[in-house]
Amino acid sequence: MDVKSRITTSVCVFFHHVLCNTGHGSIFALQSILWRKNIDHVTPPDLGRLHSKGKAFTHTIHVVLHIFTAELTVSLPLSTMGYFIKGWCFVAFVAIIGYLYRDTFDPESLANAKVLVTGASTGIGEEIAYHYSRAGAHLLLTARREDALLKVKTKCLKLGAKSVSLAPADMASSEAREKVMEQAITAMGGLDYLVLNHIGTSPFEMWDGNINYIRWLMEVNFLSYVHLATMALPHLTESKGSVVVLSSLTGKIATPFTTSYGATKFALDGFFWSLRHELAMKNVQVSITLCILGLINTQSAMEKVKDKIAMPAYPAQDAALAVVSAGTSRVSEMYYPWYVRPVCFVRDWFPQSRDWMIQRSYQQASDEKH
């Protein structure tokens, strides 16, 4: 191939990739803009329509981009066929990946869903409750503070929740957990989604040897999840429902200052992955979604990590939407924000460099503080 054809091919293939990637980017951007547009004012059916319109529009952009880039590529001389085929193999690869990771979230499927959300008085749990409300679900919300739950309930009803019941409870107590589940089933007449989100207070500090504290935290952050999921399973089996478990990057990669918290999140990972296998082996149609989150800008998280780590914190509203969407789509694991998945993927590739980097970044932050 002469130099001229070589340059033409490279330019065309370059534009092809740029345009395809722009297309994919614009699909995600548009979907998220459409979802947020007038978010506090849309009714659940509006939301469904908005979402479908968003999908149709963005797919049209995608097709146009493909035709346009195909035009560019087809106009190449025959001698460049190698590049042509390689280009389309790349496009096919991107298309398959795009298909596998396509957005299958349909907010309309949540209308009248029966949802129990724990830790719903503030933070991500509160935002999760609002997203389910917008879709027209029935809700049972639990946390310890009744006054905070009442405020969340008022907003949920305004946003379109079909019904909202409150069950103030301390998740450290086994009896309290039993009452919450009983109340949920009585109030809603069944259960479609169990969203396990609450966490007990944990300091962002080095391990001080307090065994009583870690025992308590295990009860709140881990055993209560197992207990609630166990009580919910017969109801979820009947409804072919879902368990959605809020976990953390700290439950995948150990970091300093999170010994107890990290241990509870690692425990959740082990228990719920194993349970998912067993349910599949018994052909029980209950999905389990583990949500692996990075740093989110909730008040409690920001207070904990301020001065200690220099990382961007992502919006709780977006994190909550990713949680609701993942639960509805019945995916096994959801990662939010974007960097969490690649970080988990490369976790064990270079263990020594990884540990060096983690310790250095935390050391620096803690030195700067002192």
Nearer to ligand NDP among residue 165 and residue 237 (C-beta): 165
Q: Binding of ligand NDP at residue 197 (CB under 6 A)?
A: yes
Rounded Cα–Cα distance for residues 44 and 308 (Å): 41
CA distances from 237 to 45, 116, 247, 306, 315 (A): 27, 15, 23, 42, 33
Nearer to ligand NDP among residue 200 and residue 241 (C-beta): 200
Rounded Cα–Cα distance for residues 34 and 36 (Å): 5
Residues 276 to 335 in contact with ligand NDP, rule: CB under 6 A: 293, 295-296, 298, 300-301
Q: Binding of ligand NDP at residue 119 (CB under 6 A)?
A: yes
Closest distance to ligand NDP from the beta carbon of 143 (Å): 3
What letter does residue 75 receive in the DSSP assignment? T
β-pair partners for 196: 245
Rounded Cα–Cα distance for residues 336 and 349 (Å): 21
Nearer to ligand NDP among residue 250 and residue 328 (C-beta): 250
Which residue's Cβ lies closest to ligand NDP?
Answer: 123
Closest distance to ligand NDP from the beta carbon of 287 (Å): 19
Token digits for 210?
């307090």
Q: Binding of ligand NDP at residue 121 (CB under 6 A)?
A: yes
Residue in 261, 314, 335, 336 annotated catalytic: 261
Closest distance to ligand NDP from the beta carbon of 194 (Å): 14
Let me know if 335 is a catalytic residue. Answer: no
The four Cα atoms 243, 249, 253, 256 give a dihedral, to 10 degrees, of: -120
Residues 206 to 265 in contact with ligand NDP, rule: CB under 6 A: 220, 246, 248
Which range of residues in 20-28, 62-70, 167-175, 282-290 is near ligand NDP by CB under 6 A? 167-175
Q: Applying CB under 6 A, which of residues 110, 171, 184, 340 lies at the interface with ligand NDP?
A: 171
Rounded Cα–Cα distance for residues 263 and 356 (Å): 21
Rg, Å, the chain Cα set: 24
Closest distance to ligand NDP from the beta carbon of 117 (Å): 9
Strands, E assignment, the chain:
114-118, 138-142, 163-166, 193-196, 242-248, 287-293, 333-336
CB 132 within 8 A of CB 162: no
Token digits for 37?
């547009």
| 306: exposed, middle or buried (Cβ count in 10 Å: 0-12, 13-18, 19+) | exposed
Rounded Cα–Cα distance for residues 67 and 59 (Å): 12
Please count the residues of this chain forming the interface with ligand NDP, following the rule CB under 6 A. Answer: 27
Q: Applying CB under 6 A, which of residues 12, 13, 20, 143 lies at the interface with ligand NDP?
A: 143
Rounded Cα–Cα distance for residues 59 and 34 (Å): 14
Q: Applying CB under 6 A, which of residues 46, 103, 108, 170 lies at the interface with ligand NDP?
A: 170
Nearer to ligand NDP among residue 39 and residue 148 (C-beta): 148
Nearer to ligand NDP among residue 62 and residue 153 (C-beta): 153
Closest distance to ligand NDP from the beta carbon of 57 (Å): 33
Closest distance to ligand NDP from the beta carbon of 83 (Å): 44
CB 124 within 8 A of CB 246: yes
Rounded Cα–Cα distance for residues 122 and 100 (Å): 34
CB 189 within 8 A of CB 116: no
Which range of residues in 58-66, 68-76, 105-113, 168-176 is near ligand NDP by CB under 6 A? 168-176
Q: Binding of ligand NDP at residue 150 (CB under 6 A)?
A: no
Closest distance to ligand NDP from the beta carbon of 339 (Å): 13
Q: Binding of ligand NDP at residue 181 (CB under 6 A)?
A: no
Catalytic residues: 261
Binding site for ligand NDP (CB under 6 A): 119-125, 143-145, 148, 170-172, 197-200, 220, 246, 248, 293, 295-296, 298, 300-301
